[in-house]
Amino acid sequence: MSSFGTVLLTGAAGKIGLRLREFLRPLIRLRSTDILALDPPRDGEETVRCDLSDPLAARSVVAGVDAIVHMAGIPREAPIEQIASANLIATYNVFAAAHAAGVKRVVFGSTNHVVGFYPVEQSVDASALPRPDTLYGASKVFGEAVARLFWDKHGIESVCIRIGSALDKPTNVRQLSTWVSYRDLGELVWRSLVAPRVGATIAYGVSAGSRCWWNNSAAGHLGFIPKDNADRFAAEMTEALASEEARGPAVVFQGGPWAADGYDAA
């Protein structure tokens, strides 16, 4: 998209949403929404409290925006009833509202957990079949499928960002492979908004690093180049790296403890 007026950010009271508000406010006019109470708006921002599982509320909050950054949802494993409302129905409602309002681009906050059951030895790119490690991961597979549907059927472009471990810095060995700095994630979201002709793109939200499991070559047209690198934190984990050995699903699979939780396939 070459230009736009207002961008809707959903999930704006969440951990990632709060950081994206800070990153995006200087760049665009922002409409920030969440089911939870929001901090007062800053210059160039409006805030709206909204339950996106209500289709009429979703249509109302989407009206008048030019693009959507959809980060709302439950970001962890939860009972299926909660996942269905927040991650399935709400995501569908956002895309349906975008279609009704003539919005032509949605940036969707997916997760690395859509491929969490791939082994850590395997490099995974955007063409890999989903292997979710949780109901949460499966709900994001649904979101990616909805994004593809609305591109193929209605011409709504999307970038589905499979977000890694969004933190100030890696705190364990797994995160040396999955870490994304908030600066890099903000830049990837911005590139996803402004890049021309994205179609239905899948990108991995991950900073640089020699241990990274994910190949982002299929998203090269976004022009995203990470500024941060997980390798600079490896020295802080020397003992953990030296003692790491294959000892179950938490180490064998890319989803780590998410894949290990409740695992009894062996």
- The rounded distance, in Å, linking the Cα atoms of 66 and 99 is 11
Q: Decide if 94 contacts 35 (C-beta within 8 A).
A: no
Query: Given this model, what pLDDT does residue 236 score?
Result: 83
Task: Count Cβ atoms within 10 A of the Cβ of residue 237 and give its class: 0-12 exposed, 13-18 middle, 19 or more buried.
Answer: middle
**Mapping DSSP to helix (H, G, I), strand (E, B) and coil, where does residue 214 land?**
strand
- The rounded distance, in Å, linking the Cα atoms of 20 and 183 is 9
- The rounded distance, in Å, linking the Cα atoms of 184 and 31 is 22
Which residues are the active-site residues?
A: 136
Between the alpha carbon of residue 254 and those of residues 165, 211, 260, the distances in Å are 12, 12, 10
Residue 243 has pLDDT above 90, yes or no: no
Query: Given this model, what pLDDT does residue 96 score?
Result: 99
* pTM given for the model: 0.95
Domains by residue range for the chain, with CATH: 6-260 (3.40.50.720)
Q: What is the pLDDT of residues 11-26, one digit of tens each?
A: 999 999 999 999 999 9
Query: Given this model, what pLDDT does residue 5 score?
Result: 87
Neighbours of 27 (CB within 10 A): 13
Q: Find the helix or strand (DSSP H, E) in which 249 lies.
A: helix 249-252
Query: Given this model, what pLDDT does residue 240 score?
Result: 60
Q: What is the pLDDT of residues 129-143, one digit of tens each?
A: 999 999 999 999 999
Stretch 126-131: mean pLDDT: 97
Query: Given this model, what pLDDT does residue 248 score?
Result: 82
**What is the DSSP annotation of 42-106?**
-TTEEEEE--TTSHHHHHHHHTT-SEEEE--S--S---HHHHIIIIIIHHHHHHHHHHHHT--EE
Which carries the bigger pLDDT value, residue 115 or residue 246? Answer: 115
Tell me the pLDDT band of 109, cut-offs 50, 70 and 90: very high
The residues, any chain, with a CB within 8 Å of residue 99's CB and separated by 6 or more, are 150, 154, 156
**What is the DSSP annotation of 4-49?**
-SEEEEESTTSHHHHHHHHHHTTTSEEEEEESS--PPP-TTEEEEE
Query: Given this model, what pLDDT does residue 249 score?
Result: 87
Query: Given this model, what pLDDT does residue 237 score?
Result: 77
What percentage of the chain carries pLDDT values higher than 70? 95
Half-sphere exposure of 199 (CA within 13 A, CB side): 8
Six token digits for residue 109? 């906050």
Query: Given this model, what pLDDT does residue 242 score?
Result: 52
